């Protein structure tokens, strides 16, 4: 395993005039999403229903004060489903320059931990700490839930549709993965369990492009690749760079030196590489095309929580540093940090009285008047998601964070 140390770099600050806070409408039944603008125009008042895009390469929309734990988009990206860290999923629709809440999914009794929206079948799958999963289908303008028999005795932690949308995988604290599929004869969703050799909570999942292989990151510091082949619903798979034998539950990779909880995993567009980020602030790439060679880069940043392939050689990762970072992988031993993708904000320093100066020193241990961070997100980023383009060439991606905001980023190849 090749390891390299990463040193952070600071980008030049960009001056910005921040707009005044958007007005609120107390009589509005459906909350609108507020937007913040990063322009060099004079500040202006924004109505709660108006949105404006950042003129650089990003757009920030605020969903309120509640943290956003997860999100997903519909096929044409006109609707987004988000969970404000509770048992509810809110669906917003873009109407011109407005985002309006149009649906509220309320079947769960525990905190939502995962959402995924199948683009072709237009079905939503949700999972929560109540140990349940539901598949939601839109009928006559109303989302109808169907309970899935996941058969777990601990909280569900993550969920992901397969590329062909004929099954989905669900991770949980029960030290297993439920691979769920629809049985037409009995008209219900069943599950098969992958148990061995998982020793702790499954934290992250991602599907291989062939619809068979499934990557999982867990709290036992392991990153694994399993076969999720279900003979009842799909043809026998052909060999891949990860292996040729693929009965259900077959372990094709078990990498045990991730260095911490594996928060996120992502297959490359071709499926021959697997990236994962762990709680020791590292990013790792396993290359199946190179005899499963492992390359690990340990950064000096705070831990990363989500990783996403945006091209065959480029990755974006984000987490507790509240901003995304770009990495590149060009072969074994060639995993490198490229740059920070956020643009630091320049805060204007107004004149401060001596009393205010010492009051800040006493209360905040600093003479700065503002506690605002120099990033668009003001708290940890919890998830990254593709917005525009295929995985081989992502044009836009989104991030949600504990600050209750979503940022849409342009990626320039």
Model pLDDT, residue 131: 98
* Rounded Cα–Cα distance for residues 392 and 91 (Å): 28
Model pLDDT, residue 7: 36
Model confidence at 21: pLDDT above 90: no
SS (H, E, C) 177-203: EEEEEEECCCCEEEEEEECCCCCCCEE
Model confidence at 331: pLDDT above 80: yes
Q: For residue 76, give every residue at least 6 positions away whose Cβ sits within 8 Å of its Cβ, in sequence order, or none.
A: none
State pTM to two decimals.
0.82
Model pLDDT, residue 365: 61
| Better-scored residue on pLDDT, 55 or 204 | 204
Sign of CA dihedral 196, 198, 203, 204: negative
Model confidence at 85: pLDDT above 90: yes
Model pLDDT, residue 345: 56
Model pLDDT, residue 344: 64
How many Cα neighbours within 13 Å face the side chain of 402? 11
In degrees, rounded to 5, the angle at the alpha carbon of residue 23 between the alpha carbons of residues 20 and 29 is: 155
Most confident of 204-213, 352-361, 363-372: 204-213
Most confident of 44-58, 177-191, 365-379: 177-191
- Contact in structure between 202 and 169 (CB atoms under 8 Å): no
* Rounded Cα–Cα distance for residues 14 and 347 (Å): 9
Percent share of the chain, pLDDT over 70: 80
What the chain holds in terms of domains, given with CATH numbers, is: 260-341+379-412 (2.130.10.10)
List, for residues 300-317, the tens digit of each pLDDT value. 999 999 999 999 999 999
Mean pLDDT for 123-139 is: 98
* Rounded Cα–Cα distance for residues 250 and 337 (Å): 33
Mean pLDDT for 68-93 is: 96
Is the bond preceding residue 399 a cis peptide, omega within 30 degrees? no
- Contact in structure between 6 and 297 (CB atoms under 8 Å): yes
Structure-block tokens of residue 401: 């964070």
- Least confident segment among 95-109, 222-236, 332-346: 332-346
Model pLDDT, residue 353: 72
């Amino acid at each position: 395993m090749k390891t390299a140390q990463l040193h952070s770099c600071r980008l030049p600050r960009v001056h910005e005039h921040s707009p005044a806070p958007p007005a609120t409408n107390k009589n509005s039944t459906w909350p609108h999403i507020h937007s913040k603008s990063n322009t060099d125009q004079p500040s202006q008042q924004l109505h709660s229903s108006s949105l404006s895009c950042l003129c650089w390469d990003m757009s920030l929309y605020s969903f309120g004060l509640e943290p956003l734990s997860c999100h997903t988009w519909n096929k044409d990206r006109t609707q987004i489903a988000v969970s404000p860290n509770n048992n509810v999923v809110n669906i917003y629709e873009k109407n011109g320059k407005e985002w309006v809440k149009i649906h509220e999914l309320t079947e769960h009794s525990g905190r939502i931990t995962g959402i995924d929206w199948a683009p072709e079948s237009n079905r939503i799958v949700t999972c929560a700490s109540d140990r349940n999963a539901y598949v939601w289908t839109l009928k006559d303008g109303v989302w109808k839930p169907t309970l899935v028999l996941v058969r777990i005795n601990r909280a569900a932690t993550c969920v992901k549709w397969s590329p062909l949308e004929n099954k989905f995988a669900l991770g949980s604290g029960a030290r297993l993965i439920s691979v769920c599929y629809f049985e037409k004869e009995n008209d219900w969703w069943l599950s098969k369990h992958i148990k061995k050799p998982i020793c702790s909570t499954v934290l992250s999942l991602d599907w291989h492009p062939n619809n068979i292989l499934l990557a999982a990151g867990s709290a036992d510091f392991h990153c694994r690749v399993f076969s999720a082949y279900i003979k009842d619903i799909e043809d026998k798979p052909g060999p891949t760079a990860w292996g040729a034998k693929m009965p259900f539950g077959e372990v094709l990779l078990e990498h045990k030196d991730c260095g911490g909880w594996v928060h996120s995993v992502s297959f490359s567009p071709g499926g021959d590489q697997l990236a994962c980020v762990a709680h020791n602030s590292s990013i790792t790439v396993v290359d199946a095309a190179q005899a499963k060679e492992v390359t690990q880069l340990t950064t000096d940043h705070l831990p990363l929580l989500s990783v996403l392939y945006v091209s065959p050689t480029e990755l974006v990762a984000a987490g507790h540093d509240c901003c995304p970072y770009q990495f590149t992988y060009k072969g074994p031993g060639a995993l490198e940090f490229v740059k920070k993708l956020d643009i630091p904000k320049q805060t204007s320093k107004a004149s401060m009285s001596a009393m205010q100066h010492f009051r800040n020193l006493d209360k905040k241990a600093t003479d700065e008047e503002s506690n605002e961070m120099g990033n668009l997100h003001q708290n940890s980023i919890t998830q990254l998601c593709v917005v525009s383009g295929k995985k081989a060439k992502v044009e836009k991606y989104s991030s949600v964070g504990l600050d209750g905001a979503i940022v849409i980023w342009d990626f320039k190849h």
